[in-house]
Amino acid sequence: MARQKVFVTGANGTLGQDLLARLALFDQFDLVGADRTRLNLLWDETTLKSALDELNPDIVINPAAFTQVDAAEAERETAMTVNGIAPGILAQWTQEKNRYLIHISTDYVFEGTKGALYLPSDPTHPINYYGVSKRAGEEAILQNAPGQSAVVRTSWLFGPGARNFVPFVLQAAQQQKPIRIAMDQWGTPTWTGNLCKMILQVMEERWTGVFHGCSTGMTTRYEQALHLCKAIGMPTDFMTPVPTEAFGFPARRPENTAMQSSFDCALNWEDATETFLKTQGLLPSHV
């Protein structure tokens, strides 16, 4: 593959950081990562496109998003601008400049009542505003750059850094700090390292359309936390399983958004968890 300039939004996020680190291992990429000071998805169309003109990438990967599910209910304009409108502008620029866009979306575009693994072709019906805004972004991209873009939905993403479920549970386990965890939400925990491999395949093979970049299998949040603690030999009595309604979240949570992965390289969620723990030095590498 010819040398290409790859621009990654959300460079300070869990996926953005891991993606930049892993792509840096390949000689054929000139990498540019941007946080909100260099490219802000709240900027207007003219400013966004000018920033892209200056960066002039061959490939744009967009993991940046307004991801605060509950805050999105109150901050709807901001959520829609970042998750819905800005991705459409990225797609317009992609189409105008004959470039390529990979956009990261979410399982929360589904309502969670199918009773089986969701396929990329299944109808979307989000039940909270975060999901509504992310679906709007998907639609804008597919409309504005249908032959030059890929939407990769992922779910329950975890990886390096502190702002995701796995580090949250690990910290509570180490401190034996009592926490409550939902026992009735089903999904597919996905490691950023595995998702990066999927994104690389999409980029190298120039996939177009909608795909599910997630692990295989499904579990609940509580069972995920149990598996995590047992893997590192920590007691689990600091955790209390509770129904989702006990949290009083402003945003509704779908009951089961587990998806069918589109990738042969997808790890089972348990294997993905243990592989991540090995990379963090929390499990011996030979385990």
- Tell me the backbone φ, ψ of residue 174, rounded to 5 degrees: -65, -35
Check 118, 129, 130, 222 and give the catalytic one: 130
Q: State the sign of the Cα–Cα–Cα–Cα dihedral 84, 87, 89, 95.
A: negative
β pairing state of 186-187 and 149-154: unpaired
130 a catalytic residue: yes
Burial class (CB in 10 A: 0-12, 13-18, 19+), 266: buried
Beta strand 4-8 with 59-62 is parallel
Are the beta carbons of 203 and 149 closer than 8 angstroms?
A: no
In angstroms, the CA 149 to CA 271 distance is 30
The DSSP output letter for 246 is G
Catalytic residues: 130
